[in-house]
Amino acid sequence: MLLPGTGSDEVFVRAVFAGPLRALGVPLLTPAPPPGATLADGYLAILDALADEHGELLVGGISFGAHLAAEWAVRNPGRCGGLLAALPAWNGAPGPAPASLAASLSADLVARSGVDGALAQTVGSPDWLRAELDRAWRRHGDGLAASLRVAAARPAPSLAELAALTVPAGVGTCTDDPIHPTKVASEWAATLPRASLGETTLAALGADRESLGRATVLAFLRALEKP
């Protein structure tokens, strides 16, 4: 099961990961985001329920979704078979992490100006990103600001917690992404005992959503070869 990032949705996760996972014969589950302030706990509850039903899970996500998947894996090492972590944004407490600050500012803007007003402020962003935000933010609706605040404030697993997670892990990064620094992804990949790092760029992601999925899945395949 793969989870989307802050303010994103399952449509984007499918665009990134469906093809690369299909090539391996791996089914992809991407539930819609739980509404508003229930975002994080709602996703963790869905993961618990799926593990109760199906047993061991391959989990992952993009940005905040990667944080939540790793958090669940740390809590449930015996029920996690692997981790696909694309664009992790921080370790431990968010502090001044760019993605946390961006989510907080976006939440304030949505609360003050509404979704339409907030989307109007995205002029200057790449066309593909504006289109993604236009769809996903409208789908979050009235719960968007609350979900952004949940993501901005929630700690990711610490490096010490990641060091104890021995499942194979693919970590994906866009080397030109200032919001999700490659430094963070590199720290995750260096700390997880059986991990590998895959790289692409935002420019490539804009042209081909699967570029990020391929980088992450290929890193996971390399991680499988580690003892």
Whichever domain contains 87, its CATH number is 3.40.50.1820
For residue 76, the model assigns a pLDDT of 97
- Sheet containing 80-86: give its strands across: 2-3, 57-62, 80-86, 169-174, 195-200
The answer to whether residue 125 is domain-embedded is no
Range of the domain at 173: 2-92+156-224
Tell me the CA distances in angstroms from 52 to 3, 17, 33, 48, 137, one per residue in order.
Answer: 18, 24, 20, 6, 31
Q: How confident is the model at residue 123 (pLDDT cuts 50, 70, 90)?
A: confident
Output the pLDDT for position 224. 95
Q: Is residue 107 assigned to a domain? A: no
Give the strand pairing for 57-62 and 2-3.
parallel
How far CA 172 is from CA of 1, 49, 100, 196, in Å, comes to 16, 27, 19, 9
pLDDT averaged over every residue in the chain: 97
Tally of domains within the chain: 1
- Mind listing the pLDDT tens digit for each residue in 145-188? 999 999 999 999 999 999 999 999 999 999 999 999 999 999 99
Q: For residue 151, which amino acid is it?
A: A
In this structure, is residue 172 part of a structural domain? Answer: yes
Instruction: Report if residue 117 sits inside a domain.
Output: no
Domain presence at residue 194: yes
Question: Hey, which residues does 198 pair with through a beta bridge?
Answer: 172
Q: Is residue 54 part of a domain?
A: yes
Assess if residue 109 is contained within a domain. Answer: no
- Domain membership flag for residue 210: yes
